[in-house]
Amino acid sequence: MRITAPLAFRLILGPELRLWAKAGHGPVLWWRDDDARAPNEALDKLLELSRRHGAPLTLAAIAGPHLAALVRRVEVEPAIEIAVHGFKHINRQPAGRGFGEVVPEDSLEWVRAQLRATVMAFHKAGAKPTLFVPPWNHLTSQLIAAIDDSCLTAMSAFGEARGSGEGFVRLDTHLDVLRWKGGGRFRGRWRFLSRMRRLMAQRRISGQWDEPMGLLTHHMDHDAATWTFLDQFLAVFPTRARQDLTKTSPRAARALSA
């Protein structure tokens, strides 16, 4: 890490990064931002950050009346991927059971139909997404089965290791820049960087140097401290494009072996 990196970065991550460097490795990071519905000032700010730092970004978008305008706005950016962020992003869980769009009672047929209609809405808006991001990172067996036999090839939630199911590759996020209890606000650099240090140590000890860590942001909920931190973070750590990290599509592998 450069000597110009903010002190907190050097104090919290410096020793771990030195161990990585000694072994000839650096952390593999990628970046997902959720809840894009329309072009606006916060989105412009996010895209400017991505451009300035040369940081590829996956934008999880919600199909709605402004999706086509959103797609047009993002089209002119060099390294932005649009992903499908749920059907309507409406919480259907009963009170006290957390947040999620799909409930256990939903039939697989219904979930499949919702997914098909949503992907169609993205196509109509001019986007060809290949990644699904469940709202609130809430994954259910019906969703897994529906993605499995859709035209989507990847899925992203929170906290798990990269892996592949039958028909898609999973690539999660792990580092949420916000905390959500009592309303979204900056998690704090010590909390965020300490979690990153733990994730890096796990990867180093198990020898999984290439296991990606996903940065998660929500541009509509960032306060000033979040924007500042994000700018500093992206100046220190390069991110990789999502597509690069899910290249081993199981479908492609099956096609090759067939």
- Interface with Zn ion in residues 25-54 (CB under 5 A): 34-35
Query: Which one of 98-106, 135-143, 163-171, 221-229 is the stretch in contact with Zn ion (CB under 5 A)?
Result: 135-143
Q: What is the DSSP letter of 242?
A: H
Q: Is the Cβ of residue 13 or residue 127 nearer to Zn ion in the bound state?
A: 127
Q: What minimum distance in Å lies between the beta carbon of 131 and Zn ion?
A: 14
Q: What minimum distance in Å lies between the beta carbon of 33 and Zn ion?
A: 10
Q: Is the Cβ of residue 34 or residue 81 nearer to Zn ion in the bound state?
A: 34
Give the contact letters, 142-161, x = binds to Zn ion (CB under 5 A), - = no.
--------------------
Q: Is the Cβ of residue 34 or residue 176 nearer to Zn ion in the bound state?
A: 34
Q: Is the Cβ of residue 17 or residue 125 nearer to Zn ion in the bound state?
A: 125
Tell me the residue type at 106: D
Q: Is the Cβ of residue 16 or residue 35 nearer to Zn ion in the bound state?
A: 35
# binding residues, Zn ion (CB under 5 A): 3
Q: What minimum distance in Å lies between the beta carbon of 85 and Zn ion?
A: 6
Q: Which of 27, 134, 135, 214 binds Zn ion (CB under 5 A)?
A: 135
Q: What is the DSSP letter of 146?
A: H
**Residue 31's closest CA among 49, 57, 59, 61?**
57
Contact 159, 174 (CB under 8 A): yes
Would you tell me how many other CB atoms lie within 10 Å of the CB of residue 59? 27
**Residue 192's closest CA among 221, 215, 218?**
215
Q: Is the Cβ of residue 135 or residue 214 nearer to Zn ion in the bound state?
A: 135
DSSP E strand stretches across 26-161? 29-36, 57-61, 80-84, 131-132, 154-155
Phi, psi of 132 (to 5 degrees): -110, 135
Q: What minimum distance in Å lies between the beta carbon of 35 and Zn ion?
A: 4
Q: How far is CA 121 from CA 12, 98, 162, 245, in A?
A: 44, 27, 28, 26
Q: What minimum distance in Å lies between the beta carbon of 89 and Zn ion?
A: 6
Q: Given the rule CB under 5 A, which residues bind Zn ion?
A: 34-35, 135
